[in-house]
Structure 1
Amino acid sequence: MAVFSEIYDEGDYKVFVIRGAIEARIPMNFYTQLKRKYSDEEIVSMQEPKVLRHHHTKRELVYVTRESGLPLIGHTAFGLIDRGTNLIQVRPVSGCNLNCIFCSVDEGVSKSRRTDFIVDTDYLVDEFKKVAEIKGDDVEAHIDGQGEPFIYPYMVELLKKLREVPQVKVISVQTNGMLLDAEKIKEMEGLLDRINLSISALDDRKARMLAGTNLYDVGHVKDVARAIASSEIDLLLAPVWVPGFNDEEIPRIIEFGLEIGAGKRWPPLGIQNYVRYQFGKKVRGRPMKFAEFFRRLEEYEKQYGLKLRLSPADFNIHKAPSLPKAFRKGERLRLKLVAPGRVFGEMLAVERGRVIGVLTDKPVGAAVPAEITRTTDNVYVATTK
C-alpha cells in the first residue's frame, strides 16, 4: 500500500509523492472523475507502473520497501552487508553527485551502472535490528554505499532510528561533503559519531579534476571539515592517493587535518591507495604497489608524528557472529528474475530470504537456471552460463 508524504496540484495535474519519489502524475480532469469513486491510494494503484528516476544520475530508481519483496541482504548496492565483524554496513541509497576519476564503482557518469536503489527507512532499520541482535553490544553502524550517502533524503530520520537500537554504540558515515553545511552538521550532533570525509586535493584545479566535475567546490568541503572538527562529531579525512595526480596534495591534507583538529576519538586520517577494480574507473599510469604505499606512509608518520597505517583495531572493529549463509558456492538453482540489477548484464532474483545478482540478459519475469558463484559476506552472485 502506498504511503504518501505529499499530494499536491501541479497545473493541470495531481501529483502523488511517496516518501520523496514521484509515483504518479494524473491529469486533474481524470483525477476528478476517479475521486468520485476511489480514494487517493486506490487511484494511484490503478495507474500504469511509472519509471522513477534518480535526481542526480537520471538512471532508473528502484524504491525498495518491505512490500517490494526485495530482501536487504545479498547485494552490495543497497541494504545491509555483514562481513563477520561488529561493523554493519548500511546502504540506504546508490548514486553520486560527483564523477570522481578514480571511483571504485564507476559512479557519476557511468558506462556500467544501469539502475539505482533507495531503501525505505523503517524497512532498513527493522532489518538492521535483526543483524545487530546477533553481533553483541558494541555494534558500529557504518553508512556508506556505491555513491554519496547524503543523497538519501531521510538521513536524519535514519540516524535517529539507528541510535535507538540498543546494540549500536557507534554510527559513522562516509561522504564527499558537498551536500553538508554547518546547519546540517549541527542537526546531526548527538546522532552521528564520526564522519569520514573524502577529500583528495586542496588545490582547487586538482580537486575539480579528481572529482570529475567543475561543480566540486573544495573551499566548501574545507569549510565543512572545519565545522565537523569543531562539533561533537569526530572527523576523519579520507583522501584517495592517486599516483601522478595528487602526490603533493597528501602532505597538505595531513597538515590541514592536524591544523583543524581532526581525530578527537579516532585517527584523524585514513589515506587510501588507489586500486583498479573490474567495474571501477581507470586512471592513466600504474597504481602504486602496496609495499611502496606503506613505505611512503611510514615516512609521513615519522615526519608528522601520527599513525597513518591503520587497522580495524584502530576503530575497535573485531570479529563477531555473522548471519548464516543461505547458499553454497556451486549450488544450482532455478531463479525467477524480479528486478533490474545494478549493472548492465545483471538482474535480481530472490530466494531463501536473500537477493541474488544474476548475470543474465533475460528480462524481468523470466525463470533461469543458475549457479551460485559468490557467497562471500552473504553477498550472492549467480551466473547462467
Structure 2
Amino acid sequence: MIELRLPNSRFEDLGDAIRLIWRETLYADFPKRELERVIRRKYRVSPQITARNGTLIIDTDYKKVEGFIALYIQNNLGALLRNRYTKRKVLYIHEALDVPLLGYNAFGLIDRGTNLIQIRGVSGCNLSCIFCSVDEGPYSRTRKLDYVVDIDYLMKWFDEVARIKGKGLEAHLDGQGEPLIYPFRVELVQALREHPNVSVISMQSNGTLLTDKLVEELAEAGLDRVNLSIHSLDPEKAKMLMGMKSYDLDHVLEMAEALVNAGIDVLIAPVIIFGINDDEAEAFIEFARKIGAGKRWPALGFQNYVPYKFGRNPVIAKPVPFKEFYAWLRRLEEKTGMKPLVLKPSHFGMEKREFIPLAFRPGEIVKAEVVLPGRIEGEMLAKARNRLIEVVGTRAEVGDRIRVRIVRTRHGIYIGREV
C-alpha cells in the first residue's frame, strides 16, 4: 500500500473523486476513475484509490506508482484549480505565461502616484458583503473566475516598480476581495520585509481567515498593520452586512486583539451606511481603545458607503454626500476625543511620487494580443507594450490579435474597446 503526501497539501475523499487542498485556499478534484485509469495504462495494475487523514492511499505495492501519480497530479493541478471560498475556476499567473502585472485592477500591482504600492496576488473573497463595490464573494452574480499570481513572478514585477518608485515604500496587500486567500500570504510578507525599498507592509482584511497561528506567522514575517473591515459590533447585523450567516463576529474581534498583542497595528475600517450602522460609531471607537489599536497609525478609518456600477447596491443603503460625512466625523472627534477620524495621507506617511509612465493615452488605438479571459461577461485581457488592457464588450478569444481603442488610463489601469 502506498501513502502519498504532497508539500503544503492534503487529500480528501469525496466518494467519486479525490480532492487535493493546496495551501488551504485552493483545491482541485481528481476523479478516482481517471487516476486509476492512468495507473492501469502505465503499469497494468488496477489499484483502488482512497484518501484518509489527509493522505492519498493507493492500494498497490508497486512502488513506481507513487512517483508517477505524484507527477501526474502536479502536472494537472493548474488546469483543475479552484478557489475554496468562491468555488470559481482559478487561473494561475506565472512567469512562463508572460502576462504583465501592471494595467489591470484584479491582480498585479497598482501605482496611484504615491509611495504606496497596492499588491494584488489574488482575487476572490470568502464573504459577500451586501455593499461590495465589485460584487465579490460566493454569491457573486457577475464574477466568473479568479486569479492567483505566483509569488516569484509577483516579486519580480515589484522589484521593477520599486526601482522606479524609490525607497520608503509602503507595500499594501489588498485586492478585489480578501488578501488572506492568497496561498503565499506569509511568504509574500516576508519577501517584502527583506526588500530594501520597503519601509511599511500593510494589509486589508475582513479578519475571518485569521487564526492565532497565522497571526504569529504574519508578525514574524514582518507585517506592520492590518486595516480590519468590521462593519458592525452586533452579531446579527454583522452577518447581514457581511452577507454570510456563518460570519463569526466574536472570532474577528478576538483576532483584532491577537494582532495588537502580536505587535501588528490595527486600524478598524467600518463602511458606514447611514441609518444602518452609523449609530455604532462610538462603540467602534471604544473597541479600538480597548484593544489598543492605532499605536503607529490612526486607530479608525471610517468609510462612507458609495454605490458602484458593478457593485452590490442594496436598497437599504442610502448614500450620504461626503461633505455631510466629514461633518459627521468632526462631530465624533469633538464628542469622543478620538483623533484623527478625518484622515489624510500624511497620517500614514504617504507622499506624492512620480507615476510610473503611462504606456497609452486616451483615444489611442493599439494592436494587442488577447492573453486571458476577464472576470465578467464580455471582458478579455490583452497585452501590449508590456502592460495589460481590460478589453470590454468583446467576443475575442485568447490568442487573437485585435485593435483596441484606449478609453481609460487613470492610475495606470487601462480599459479599452475593440475596434
Superposed pair shares fold, TM > 0.5: yes
Q: 1:296 aligns with which of 304, 313, 328?
A: 328
Query: Could you say which residue in structure 2 is the equivalent of 1:271?
Result: 302
**Paired amino acid for 2:93:** V
1:363 positional shift: 2.7
CA distance in 1, matches of 2:397, 2:185: 33
SS of the counterpart of 1:84? coil
Tell me, in whole angstroms, the C-alpha distance in 2 between the residues paired with 1:57 and 1:307: 36
1:198 is matched with: 229
- Which segments of 5 or more consecutive residues in structure 1 lack a partner in the other structure? none
Q: Which residue matches 2:48?
A: none
Aligned to 1:328, what secondary structure does the other structure show?
coil
2:38 maps to what in 1? Answer: 30
Residues in 1 aligned to 2:129 and 2:9: alpha-carbon distance in whole angstroms: 37
Alignment correspondent of 2:247: 216
Deviations 1:108-133, CA, capped at 9 Å, x for gaps: 11122122111111111111111111
Whole-angstrom CA distance in 1 between matches of 2:217 and 2:183: 14
CA distance 1:247–1:15, shift in 2 (3 Å): closer
Distance 1:86 1:364 in 2: 35
Cα distance in 1 for residues equivalent to 2:72 and 2:254: 47
Distance 1:200 1:302 in 2: 22
**Per-residue deviation at 1:325?**
1.3
Percent identity reads 45
Structure 2 gap segments, 5+ residues each? 1-5, 44-63
Query: Partner residue of 1:282?
Result: 313
Matched, 1:346 2:379: yes
> What letter matches 2:128 in structure 1?
N
Question: For the residues of structure 2 that align with 1:39 and 1:333, how far apart are their CA atoms?
Answer: 46
Two-structure CA RMSD over aligned residues (Å): 2.7
Aligned-partner SS, 1:142: strand
Question: Is 1:121 aligned to residue 151 of structure 2?
Answer: yes
Match of 2:405 in 1: 371
1:182-235 Cα offsets, whole Å, 9 max, x none, are 222122224100011000100111111100111111111111111122221101
Question: One-letter code of the match for 2:401?
Answer: A
Selected match of 2:124 from 83, 92, 95: 95
Aligned CA distance change for structure 1 residues 5 and 352 (closer, same or farther; 3 Å): farther
Aligned residue in 1 for 2:100 = 71
2:134 and 2:176 in contact (8 A); partners too: yes
Q: Does 1:309 align with 2:365?
A: no
Kept in 1, the 8 Å contact 2:219–2:262? The answer is: yes
The alpha carbon displacement at 1:248 in A equals 1.1
AA matched with 1:131: V
Q: Structure 1: how far apart are the matches of 2:256 and 2:77? A: 46
TM score, norm. by length of structure 2: 0.84
1:140-289 matches, cutoff 5 A: 140-190=170-220, 191-284=222-315, 285-289=317-321
Native 8 Å contact 2:17 2:30 kept in 1: no
CA radius of gyration, larger in: 2
Q: Which whole-Å deviations, capped at 9, do the CAs of 1:162-188 have from their partners, x for residues lacking one?
A: 111101010000000000122221222
Q: CA deviation at 1:52?
A: 2.9
Does structure 2 retain, via aligned residues, the 8 Å contact 1:78–1:93?
yes
* Cα distance in structure 2, aligned partners of 1:215 and 1:324: 45
Secondary structure of the structure 2 residue equivalent to 1:134:
helix
Compute the displacement of 1:366 (Å). 3.0
Cα distance in 2 for partners of 1:378, 1:95 equals 22
Aligned residue for 2:162? 132
Report the TM-score when normalising by structure 1.
0.91
Contact 1:13 1:27 in 2 (8 A): no
CA displacement, residues 311-353 of structure 1 (integer Å, 9 cap, x when unaligned)? 1110011112332111111111233322110222200111111
**Farther off after superposition, 108-117 or 267-276:** 108-117
Q: What aligned pairs does 1:319-358 form with structure 2 within 5 A after superposition?
A: 319-358=352-391
Relative contact order (C-alpha < 8 Å, sep 6+): which is higher?
1
Aligned pairs (5 A) from 1:45-64: 50-64=79-93
